[in-house]
Structure formats: structure tokens, C-alpha cells
Structure 1
Amino acid sequence: MSGILDSVNQRTQLVGQNRLELLTFRLNRRQRYGINVFKVKEVLQCPKLTSMPHLHPFVKGVAYIRGQTILVIDMSLATGGRPVDDVSNCFIIISEFNRSVQGFLVSAVERIVNINWEAILPPPKGAGRNNYLTAVTEIENELVEILDVEKILDQISPVDTRLSSELLDEISLITPTVKTVLVADDSMVARKQVQRAIESIGCNCICVKDGKEALRTLQMMAKNGSIYDQLALVISDIEMPEMDGYTLTAAIRNDPALKDLHVILHTSLSGVFNQAMVERVGANAFIPKFNPDELGRAVKNAMTTVTAVSVSS
């Protein structure tokens, strides 16, 4: 138990320092890629894969690992490259995204690098595979690409963004004084998912691509008057180029003009560390992606609170 607690404490020290640990790997091509270690459950030599009918073309097969049946996705094919023909020398990165476990088939796994989020930059406009990237960085004078895994997974199994009729009925009974929500997420697919869910309950969305842009937008809004008369809440991803969601939340809490904003961290990250990190930076709620009713209910609760505070003042 003490070892687990030490690990939690060690990793929460990254919060406020805007840092992450990146596992680097390669596909069929020479290009180097990275994935946040928090999303990785384990890495292993590719086991025997079983083919099944009606699988998505990106899915190489199914592996039975530690009592669990896991889809194995050919990441080279999914990102526009050649399919993997021989899996015998390949590896699987077992990861957890959006409450599901899947395996990413890769050619080689390298090492873990500790890096500052400020060194993680948005992909250059016009890049060849820009639609599959959320960010890029440089390690040892080599470009490392960070893939938009949420887009790949959405192509394989699209997310339903519709809210239940019961929740929509509940939300229709409240009349918030402010109906605008700021959404920060580096994945275009994730932004659209959140936006559709939020707009379905009659709210407006301001969408930005990373924490730095979110903070700049909030500070500009605050110069035009009270932020609480303009914005109901902030919904932020955690993993974002230049400034992550934890650092964004901490910056909001440290700004006198923004400090009482309601902040929901909405992320594909899972694991035992998140609650400790959320409490450390002072976010109001943490919601794993993507359940539209959970997100809608959190927004309803936030708007009910904001409306009540506004009426009392």
C-alpha cells in the first residue's frame, strides 16, 4: 500500500509543473510517436490474434489477455500507412481510453521520456497526416507525433452524443442566467462530441484547442466585464499542447478575476491518480469520457449552482 501511495504522491508532483511522461514507439514507418504513460496499462509482445467476422478494417484481430478479450488495432493502417503483415515481431500497447481497453499494434516500443507540456505543440497546419494528430514535439532532434487516438476510436466505434430524454426533461426545468460554456480539447473529434451534447441542452459553446488558448480567452473575456456574467463554466480536457488541463485549472484558481469559475475536467485518462490530481488543482468535478448523460448532468449541476449564486447575490 505504501508503494502505491508513494507512486500517487510522486506523480501528483507533476501537477502544477505542466509535465507528463511520454512512451515513445514506432509503426511500420520510421516516424516516431508518443502516448501518455497514464493511458498505458502494459506493453507486451504481440500474442496470437484471432480473426472474427465483421471487424472494422483497422482491427487486426482479437487477443485474449489476462482473462479479457481485447481488440487489437493496427495503428499503421489506422493512420494511413501500410497494414502490418507479420505480427510476430510486433508489440501491443494495452491502453485505456474513454472507459474501454484496447491494444495498439506497433512495430517497436522505445522508452519513457519526461517532458514539459510547453514542449508539446499543436501540429503544423498543412501537415500530411494532420487530421490524425493532436500534437507534435521534438525529442533528441527528432520529431515525435502524438496521435488523435479519440478520432481513430470514433471511426471504429462512433460515440453516441445524444442525451437521454429523461435528463433533457430535467434540464428543461432550470433557467440558467448564463448559458455559455468554454470547451478546451486538443482533439477535434472530442470537441465536436462535447459541443453536440452541450448544444442539445440549449447552451452555447466557445471551443478552443488547448489550455493556453483557453486561459488567454478567459482573461480577454474578464477584461470586458465580470466573467460570471459571460460564462457558466469551463469543460477542459487534461492532455493538451502547451498547457494541460491541470495547469489551466490551477491558473484559473490563482487569477482573482477567474478564481470562482466552475471547472469540469473531462478526459479519456483513467486511473487511481486522477482524483488526487483533481483535488490538488481545485477542479469542481472530474468526468471520464464519454458518457453524454454524465456530462449533461454535471453541466446541469454547475448551472444550477451558478444560477443560485447569481440570484442570492
Structure 2
Amino acid sequence: MSTELKTSILTESGTNELEIIEFRLEKLLPDGSTKVCYYGINVAKVREVIRVPETTDYPNAQPNVLGVFSLRGKLIPLVDLASWLGVPTTSNIDEKVVIVTDFNKMSNGFLVDSVSRIHRISWEEVESPSQFLEASDQDCVVAVVRQETNLIMILDFEKIIADINPELSMEKYDVTKDKSVVIDDAMVARREAKTILVVDDSAFIRRLIENTLRSAGYNVITAKDGQEGLDNMIEFVRLCTEEQLPITEFVDGVVSDVEMPKMDGLHLVKRLREIGEYKDIPIVMFSSLMSEDNRRKALDLGANDTITKPEIGRMVGLMDSLVLKEGK
């Protein structure tokens, strides 16, 4: 069994729709019975679904990495997803399958019990986790989809991969040590006069972007999904009109993810460009799904530029060029 999934399904231009693969882990309960746990991943992140391959042990691997395997000329780590999530499952590996992902310029294999179906849904049907769940630094659920009889948890695969491969994580980046970024009193003062809205459903990614921009001097406000981001921007327009102030008194630029609950980033760009005050505001898309096709769609909808995760090192320089007009 090998199912290619990558070619035909991509985020469409501003339609606010996505397709998710539903997969399952069978949780082993203390009495020996099992309970099915339902999870999901954006189809655009999935390369294929395969039978469990032969793996080779890798020295000093993270405990949840079962080994590495070769697929189409690439060496790919195999992650025991249930183990990472702390979900006890049966050890019958022959009956399981592997979801091979391809994003953030990395390929990874995730061992799961089964893959059931693909759901095509609107981002409006995708809910953010509760505030209680979001409060946890360890939370790896970025969204929830309600089905007739169960809830599908959309996992934060960027966070999972960063935990398994800390050397490759964006957390390693320190803008204050980046010689390509000017961090002197004059530049920091210029940035301190500017405010950037960061929109991302992953608390982990939001924190990384916010820390990077703040370390360089920028003021940062955040939103956890496209709808919250749009609501904030509409409120800024209301306040500007009421107080007869320019919009730059509240916000000077936007950094947005693509895949988010309630409203995706492409639809957010489309909506913002329809508002007169935001016709020319700098907008940068920062996403693990920034293929050439999605980059073209983002630019066609009005984004100024795109960054592919995990290239967070480009963030401050790009915002300087767009917001401060540096180098222009």
C-alpha cells in the first residue's frame, strides 16, 4: 500500500477551504480494551501513506524515533506518534501504517494505527482549542473539527518535529547574534515606532515569531487565527475613524500563517486588501506550506512576500525592507 496524495490538493486562492486526512490511534485502556482517538493533518503536508517499512536504528536517536528508512532515495526518520503523544497502543506494528509528511523542507514518517478518510471542510468549521488547552506550553493541538460522533484533533506537527529534532528547530535562531541584521540603537528605535500583527494558530510558532521581532525592537500584537486577526484589524479602522488618526498609529505590518482555524491566511489577505486602510499595508505569509504554487497564490491575493518555515532568519530583514523601507 502506497498512496500518493501530494499533487492535486492544495490550498485554493482565498476560498477558506482545506482537506484533512483523518487518522486514528487505538488507545489501550487498563482493562485491555481499546478506545479510538481521532486526529487530523492537512493533506497539503502529506506526501503519501505507506505500509510500515523496515527501519535501521539511528545512534542517539530521540526516544520516540523508531529508526530511519529509505524512501525514493531519501533517508526519513520514523516517529512513533502515539509514544510522543503519551497514548499507549498495541505493539502489533505490522497492522499499522506510516504517514509520510513533507513540509518545512523536511520529510518525516509518523507511525499511526490507521488512516480512514479525507474530509473537505471550510476553515470556518475548524475550531480553535479551548483557552485551557492553549494555556499549556506542551499543547500540540492547534485545532478541532467536530464530526457527527467524534472530535478530530488537528496536531501541531511543527512543534512535534521541533521537539524531536531540536537542532533543526527555529528556537535555535537568535536575531541578536545574526550579523546580517542591524541591531544598533538607531535601528532599534526605528523599529520601536512600528507595530506588527502576528497571526498563527500555533502558540509555539507565535511565540517564536514574536520573540524574534521583539528582540529586534518591533512592537508585536498577536492573533490565534485569521478571524481574530481580521477582527483586530477592523477594530483598528473603527478607532482610527473615531479618533481621526492614521492606521499606522495601531498597526504597520502583518505576518500570517496560511492554515488556521475559522479563517485561513490566504482568505485573511484577500479580506484585508478589500479594506481601503489596508490596501498597501505590508503583509508577509510565513508557512510550512509555501510551495511555489501557494507562493504564487499568496502574491496574487496581495501578499508582499512569503517565507517558508523554518527560515525565521529572514523575518526581521524582510520586515525592515517592507515596513521601514530599508534597502529600497
TM bracket, shorter-chain basis: 0.7 to 0.9
Structure 1 contact 91–107 (Cα < 8 Å) conserved: yes
Partner of 2:173: 161
SS at match of 1:301: helix
Write the letter of the residue equivalent to 2:21. Answer: L
Moved more, 173-182 or 259-268: 173-182
1:134-166 residue CA offsets vs partner (Å, 9 max, x unmatched): 000123432111011122122112321312432
User: Mapping of 1:48-197 within 5 angstroms?
Assistant: 48-82=54-88, 85-126=91-132, 131-158=139-166, 159=169, 160-163=172-175, 164-169=177-182, 174=187, 175-176=190-191, 178-197=193-212
TM-score by length of 2: 0.84
Q: What residue in structure 2 maps to residue 296 of structure 1?
A: 316
Count of residues in Structure 1 that have an aligned counterpart in Structure 2: 300
The whole-number CA distance in structure 1 between the counterparts of 2:122 and 2:41 is 14
Does the 8 Å CA contact 2:13/2:298 hold for their aligned counterparts? no
Superposed CA deviations along residues 81-112 of structure 1, whole A, max 9, x for unmatched, are: 12663322221111123221111111101121
Instruction: Quote the Cα distance in structure 1 between the aligned partners of 2:323 and 2:281.
Output: 11
CA distance change for structure 1 residues 307 and 99 in 2, over 3 Å: closer, same or farther? closer
Q: Residue type matched to 2:215 in 1? A: S
User: In structure 2, what is the equivalent of residue 198 of structure 1?
Assistant: 213
Structure 2 counterpart of 1:277: 297
Match of 2:75, SS state, is strand
> Match for 1:17 among 15, 18, 22?
15
State the partner residue of 1:4: none
SS at match of 1:200: helix
Cα distance change on mapping 1:171 and 1:43 into 2, 3 Å: farther
* Post-superposition CA distance 1:243-296 (Å, at most 9, x none): 000011101001112222111010111434212311231111111112232112
2:234 to 212, 216, 219: 219
CA RMSD, 1 decimal: 2.4
Say whether the 8 Å CA contact 2:255–2:283 is kept in structure 1: yes
Q: CA deviation at 1:73?
A: 1.0
Q: In structure 2, what is the Cα distance between the partners aligned to 1:253 and 1:307?
A: 25
Following superposition, the deviation at residue 33 of structure 1 comes to 1.0
Cα distance change on mapping 1:66 and 1:253 into 2, 3 Å: same
Distance 2:207 2:132 in 1: 21
Return the TM-score normalized by structure 1.
0.88
**Structure 2 residue 311 is matched with structure 1 residue 287:** no
Q: Is the CA contact (8 Å cut-off) linking 2:191 and 2:219 kept in structure 1?
A: no
CA distance in 2, matches of 1:177, 1:170: 12
CA shift for structure 1 position 307: 11
Give the Å deviation of 1:188. 0.8
The alpha-carbon deviation at position 118 of structure 1 amounts to 0.2
Aligned-pair distance for 1:176? 4.8
Q: Which has the higher contact order (CA 8 A, sep 6+)?
A: 1
Q: Distance in 2 between matches of 1:115 and 1:187?
A: 20
Q: Does 1:228 align with 2:240?
A: no
C-alpha spacing 1:66/1:227, structure 2 compared with 1 (3 Å): same
> Distance in 2 between the 1:155 and 1:83 partners?
21
Give the one of 253, 256, 259 matched to 2:273: 253
Equivalent residues of 2:320, 2:326 under 8 A apart: no
Cα pair distance change 1:260/1:187, threshold 3 Å: same
Q: The residue matched to 1:241 in structure 2 has which SS?
A: coil
Taking the aligned partners of 1:266 and 1:161, their CA distance within structure 2 comes to: 16
- Which 10-residue stretch deviates more, 24-33 or 37-46? 24-33
Using the TM superposition, give the Cα deviation of residue 240 of structure 1 relative to its aligned residue in structure 2, in angstroms.
0.6
Q: CA deviation at 1:11?
A: 4.6
Deviations 1:163-187 (A, max 9, x none): 2432232786643583211101111
Deviation at 1:228, TM superposition (A): 2.2
